Amino acid sequence: MPNLTSTSEFLLLEFSDIRELQILHFFVFLTVYLTAVTGNILIIIAVALNHHLHIPMYFFLMNLAVLDLGSISVMVPKAMANSLMNSRSISYSGCVAQVFFYFLFETSNFAILTVMAYDRYIAICNPLQYEKIMHKGACLQMAISAWVTGTVYSTIHTSGTFAITFCSNMINQFFCEVPQLLKLSCSDLYLVEAGLLIFSCIITGGCFIYIIITYIHIFATVLRMPSVHGRKKALSTCIPHLIVVSLLIFSGLFAYGKPPGNTSSELNVICAVIYAVLPPLLNPFIYSMRNKEIKIALLKLTDLGHFFSKTGSCKILLLKFG
């Protein structure tokens, strides 16, 4: 095959070659995207404008919503544009940007989820030391560390992916997915990136085990609580986080745990939608349905006049949150 290292564009997998189905895919993705964006923006606004939510758990939840917003915005708008314009192309720089930002948001996302597990552990298992350990400076450091980790990790993977020699520009996916890009390689450099991916899976597995062990301690502590109300309150802050972590992990396992070999394009697309689109779409609903404080904050957003008259003004709230 010819050397296409200097190619100016890649060709993505199209959902269908039938124009009516392309339009249908556009509207389906538009609905999903607008729902995800609206849900995550509401979470961000609810936390920012409600001083009762200015605590570490909701600070990290707001970071998670920002990351989910970025994650789904990396690929879905381009897929919608291609369906609408009957196109398959994405520029080389656009593909690089997709890989970089997707790794950035997803890595930072998982780092934040790990920090949130630690936050719940301290709050429930060591409540007397909570304010001392999870003070504002510590929370900012943890959040910044998560974002920095995502940036470094993303830079390494993006550099490793696009250092290889491509012998084709046809990607068997609706976005620039790294495993599909590695299949286009005609040099041994792809082994380096493949090794990095395996190493990343090991680290991710280690973080997941840490979260599971953390929750074993949390549930053991909760079961020893004498108050039924206390147990319910503790579980109401833990269950949504555990569901979100499980959704992220198991959707990834579903996508990458399938047997190796030539899988159909339809299966590749379904797997990608499950692990890349569903978590940012469902996370706001998971937190809003299972958390009473988030429910109250979201209900207040539907009556902004009453909310602002009760708390002062939007400007004061924003300044106070900052």
For residue range 275-286, what is the model confidence (pLDDT) as tens digits? 888 889 988 888
* pLDDT number for residue 112: 94
- Mean pLDDT score across all residues of the chain: 83
CA–CA distance, 174 with 178 (Å, rounded to integer) = 12
- Which residue blocks in 224-257 are alpha helix, DSSP H? 228-256
CB 160 within 8 A of CB 103: no
Using the structure block, give the residue that is written with the tokens 């400076």. 137
CB 175 within 8 A of CB 71: no
In whole angstroms, how far apart are CA 26 and each of 18, 39, 72, 199, 220?
A: 13, 20, 15, 36, 47
For residue 25, which amino acid is it? H
What percent of the chain shows pLDDT beyond 70?
A: 87
9: part of which helix (H) or strand (E)? strand 9-11
46-70 tens-digit pLDDT: 888 888 888 999 999 999 999 999 9
Considering only 21-25, 75-79, 258-262, 288-292, which range has the smallest mean pLDDT? 258-262
pTM of the model: 0.84
* pLDDT number for residue 256: 64
CB count, 10 Å around CB of 3?
11
* pLDDT number for residue 303: 64
CB 180 within 8 A of CB 171: yes
CB count, 10 Å around CB of 302?
9
CA–CA distance, 183 with 180 (Å, rounded to integer) = 5
CA–CA distance, 140 with 275 (Å, rounded to integer) = 28
* pLDDT number for residue 257: 60
Mean pLDDT across 14-33: 89
Single out the residue of 42, 226, 233 nearest to residue 120, CA to CA.
Answer: 233
Domains of the chain, with CATH numbers?
A: 9-321 (1.20.1070.10)
Using the structure block, give the residue that is written with the tokens 């602002």. 308
* pLDDT number for residue 302: 65
CA–CA distance, 59 with 47 (Å, rounded to integer) = 7
What percent of the chain shows pLDDT beyond 90?
A: 40
271-311 tens-digit pLDDT: 888 888 888 998 888 887 767 778 788 787 766 544 444 44
